[in-house]
């Protein structure tokens, strides 16, 4: 079991949603946490709350859309903290809508935040991790990576890309001391992008709490889990069906109401 005490962790998407819940769970176990997001006031609120116990939280307001700001983020945390033991790529954007109605800007921004930004941050951080022969990258994907969601096809594509890029790097860098994990949360209740929608998900999709996502991150760090799906058992079975017969998998999504639910989410 890996000890979290004094580990230096950088979490993106730390201003709201699931990020602060993950941060809290690591911080109460003694980790030193740095948080990044665009909203300075959001980051300050979270940092103030979390700094009440243990070490202060370091915050970096940053737009992960912009390469020079990604570089500034890594530089700034390394300067402040000395090292980054664990990077959690959690910031994400769910651009929903009929694909044909999305603007190119919306499509590109979703790919930038969900896929290019994690790739860029890891590329910036890897040399120092390789030099130290230690490090852990945790990428927060989604169940949409396992089963493409209608009206969230771009989101699904970025998350599937994130998951397979992580797998590729894990195999490429095996034995170097750098570990890679992917977390696949389902719809999350209480906080975050799905909770803001304010509707109950269909039975086949189910839901999970933000604490369950934080627990999966903890398992990845402490027990070296490489992939963790955080969702209902029935949905896991549907992923197996998808693999065996994509046609049957599509049919299941139709008749279970999952497709209609996604359509309702965008008000169609
Ligand atoms: N909630 C769910 O049901 C669910 C399910 C599966 C997977 N996930 C994944 O879990 C992760 C967290 O989701 P969430 O529900 O917590 O989302 P959220 O509530 O919408 O929060 C997104 C976070 O990302 C940050 N962010 C967005 N655009 C950014 C940018 N350009 N630069 C820097 N930071 C940016 C936001 O901060 P600012 O706005 O302050 O920049 C915020 O802190 C995402 O990767 C998401 O895809 C969520």
Contact 148, 160 (CB under 8 A): yes
The minimum-distance atom of ligand 1 relative to the CA of 155 is: 47
Pocket-forming residues, ligand 1, beta carbon under 6 Å: 13-19, 37-39, 42, 62-65, 90-94, 113, 140, 142, 185, 187-188, 192-194
pLDDT of residue 267: 86
In sequence order, what DSSP letters do the residues of 175-214 get, joined into one string?
A: TTTEEEEEEEE-SBSSSSTTGGG--PPPTTT--B-HHHHH
Q: How many CB atoms lie within 10 A of CB 59?
A: 22
Residue ranges of domains in the chain, CATH in brackets: 8-197+207-232 (3.40.50.720)
Give the residue-averaged pLDDT of 4-15: 96
> For the CA atoms of 174, 179, 185, 189, what is the dihedral angle to 10 degrees?
180
Give the residue-averaged pLDDT of 144-150: 95
pLDDT tens column, 160-207:
999 999 999 999 999 999 999 999 999 999 999 999 988 888 888 899
Q: How far does the centroid of ligand 1 lie from the alpha carbon of residue 93, in Å?
A: 6
12 pLDDT above the threshold of 80: yes
Report CA-CA distances (Å) from 41 to 48, 56, 61, 88, 188. 10, 16, 9, 21, 24
Kindly state the tokens that stand for 13. 């998407």
pLDDT of residue 221: 97
pLDDT of residue 202: 86
- For residue 163, give the 3-state DSSP assignment: helix
Contact 215, 174 (CB under 8 A): no
Which one of 184, 193, 194, 198 would you pick to mutate in the ligand 1 pocket, going by the greatest count of ligand atoms within 8 A of its CB? Answer: 193
In sequence order, what DSSP letters do the residues of 85-96 get, joined into one string?
A: SEEEE-------
Give the residue-averaged pLDDT of 57-76: 98
Average pLDDT in the chain: 95
pLDDT of residue 248: 96
Give the residue-averaged pLDDT of 249-267: 92
Give the residue-averaged pLDDT of 204-213: 94
Q: How far does the centroid of ligand 1 lie from the alpha carbon of residue 17, in Å?
A: 7
Give the residue-averaged pLDDT of 121-142: 98
Give the residue-averaged pLDDT of 74-88: 97
pLDDT of residue 149: 94
pLDDT tens column, 34-53:
999 999 999 999 999 999 98
Q: pTM of the predicted model, to two decimals?
A: 0.97
């Amino acid at each position: 079991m890996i000890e979290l005490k004094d580990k230096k962790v950088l979490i993106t998407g730390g201003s709201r949603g699931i990020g602060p819940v993950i941060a809290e769970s690591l911080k109460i176990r003694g980790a030193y946490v740095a948080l990044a997001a665009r909203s300075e006031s959001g980051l300050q609120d979270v940092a103030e709350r979390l700094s009440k116990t243990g070490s202060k939280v370091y915050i970096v307001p940053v737009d992960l859309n912009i390469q020079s700001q990604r570089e500034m983020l890594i530089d700034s945390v390394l300067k402040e903290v000395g090292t980054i033991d664990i990077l959690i790529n959690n910031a994400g954007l769910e651009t929903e809508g009929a694909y044909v109605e999305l603007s190119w800007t919306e499509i590109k921004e979703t790919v930038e935040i969900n896929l290019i930004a994690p790739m860029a941050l890891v590329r910036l951080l890897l040399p120092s991790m390789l030099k130290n022969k230690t490090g852990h990258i945790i990428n927060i994907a989604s169940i949409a990576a396992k089963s493409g969601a209608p009206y969230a096809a771009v989101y699904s594509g970025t998350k599937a890309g994130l998951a397979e890029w992580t797998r590729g790097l894990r195999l490429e860098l095996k034995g170097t001391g750098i570990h890679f994990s992917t977390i696949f949360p389902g719809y999350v209740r209480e906080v975050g992008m799905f909770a803001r929608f304010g509707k109950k998900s269909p039975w086949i999709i189910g839901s999970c709490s933000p604490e369950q996502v934080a627990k999966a991150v903890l398992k990845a760090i402490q027990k070296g889990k490489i992939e963790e799906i955080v969702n209902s058992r029935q949905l896991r079975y549907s992923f197996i069906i998808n693999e065996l017969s994509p046609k049957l998998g599509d049919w299941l999504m139709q008749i279970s109401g999952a497709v209609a639910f996604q359509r309702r989410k965008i008000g169609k």
